[in-house]
Amino acid sequence: MNYLELVQIAEKVALAAGELLLDRPANLEVSTKSSEVDVVTQMDLASEALITSMLAQLRPADGLLGEEGADVVSKSGVTWVIDPIDGTVNYLYGLPGWNVSIGAQIDGQSVAGVVYAPLLAGGTIWSATLGGGAFVAINSGQPQKIKVNNPIELSQALLATGFSYSRETRREQGAKFAKLIPEVRDIRRFGAAAVDLCFVAQGVVDGFFEIGLKPWDLAAGGLIATEAGATLSNLSGDPADESFTIAAGPHLHANLLKLLN
């Protein structure tokens, strides 16, 4: 399997979806999903429709799994895991950080991934292939290889986090936040998990933690982070359990696990 071909396809499709999303209508039609603050717009749906249509043309035997409902069983062994707008609330409010996230998986393992944030630094694209490292291209520039900050001590760590739309889950994460904030340099909130993971990969932040991420939050960003040298796991150290996600360089990751447990 040519992972580089998959990442090139993901980048082409993500750029097309980003162009669609930049042509934002004056009035967004907003509905809710899991809670009153978990929103979806007509642009989420339009972006997923564009992405799935392009992937179906380019790779007709592949499977599809999207946040807004795409669900096609793979005949080739490759499944595309799609977040058509990661950070929809940012998009709704006109804040940067929202992105298009596209990952290709084989047997549940990400092998190629692209995260495209059109409003960050004139357009930022992160990409990775399994075993091939992680890269960032800023404002149409050439891709540059990236790596996590390591080793970083807990007291010097700048972390990123996000919060679930579930009130119960927010209470749980609030307790973890309270435990961490006296022990670290500071905590940032960017509003989009895929970008948080890419910021870890790029060394913009030192680590990331969040409760309740979904496969489409992690498929591309998780691969980019790990290919840049991050350790990614839940609280027990299991990389396959998405109930609580911690991503950081190995030294900081170990200390975050100790503190949070």
Active site residue 67: yes
Tokens of 60: 């007709």
Active site residue 241: no
Catalytic residue among 67, 196, 206, 227: 67
Cα–Cα distance, 225 to 173 (Å, whole number): 22
Active site residue 85: yes
Active site residue 86: yes
What's the DSSP call for residue 156? G
Catalytic residue among 44, 210, 217, 227: 217
Active site residue 88: yes
Active site residue 83: yes
- CB 103: neighbour CB atoms within 10 A? 31
Catalytic residue among 9, 51, 82, 85: 85
- CB 220: neighbour CB atoms within 10 A? 35
Catalytic residue among 44, 48, 83, 210: 83
Catalytic residue among 41, 52, 88, 161: 88
> In angstroms, how far is CA 172 from the centroid of its own chain?
21
Which residue blocks in the chain are alpha helix, DSSP H? Answer: 3-22, 42-58, 88-93, 167-180, 193-202, 215-218, 221-227, 250-260
Catalytic residue among 86, 196, 206, 227: 86
Catalytic residues: 67, 83, 85-86, 88, 217
